[in-house]
Amino acid sequence: PLMSWKNRNCDATVKDGILTAKGTGPSPFLGIGANLSGAAKVTFRLRTATGGDGHVDLVPTGTSKTTDIIAFPYATKPGEWQEITVDLPHQGPAAIMRLYLPTASEPVQIDWVELRPTGAKARRWEF
């Protein structure tokens, strides 16, 4: 039901084409195998009652060190659906992409996510 996404420190369910995630611990996120070889953009459509700041992390291929993870911030507004695009200018290979929720205390609804690597085919998840 999560279309290969893994939920960490959050509960996540899909109903009527919307993924709803709510934090159950610190720094809740959804992760997926990115298999990027360079720069990309990720765009997602989400809604949260309170808004807040989140970030998209790339985990470089072949590392498990948290110091090697690269974070790209984003901000959300409260209330309405919004499309957010985050540039991921990382030049090396990245195995995993993590989408950290903008709030841990309120549910976050996600309609879809699209990952567009530079010079490669986009991948889109319609929940």
**pLDDT tens by residue, 10-55:** 999 999 999 999 999 999 999 999 999 999 999 999 999 999 999 9
Does residue 64 carry a pLDDT above 80? no
95 touches 65 (CB < 8 A) = no
- Superfamily assignment of 6-120 in CATH? Galactose-binding domain-like (2.60.120.260)
The model carries a pTM of: 0.95
Q: HEC string of 79-114?
A: CCCEEEEEEECCCCCEEEEEEECCCCCCCEEEEEEE
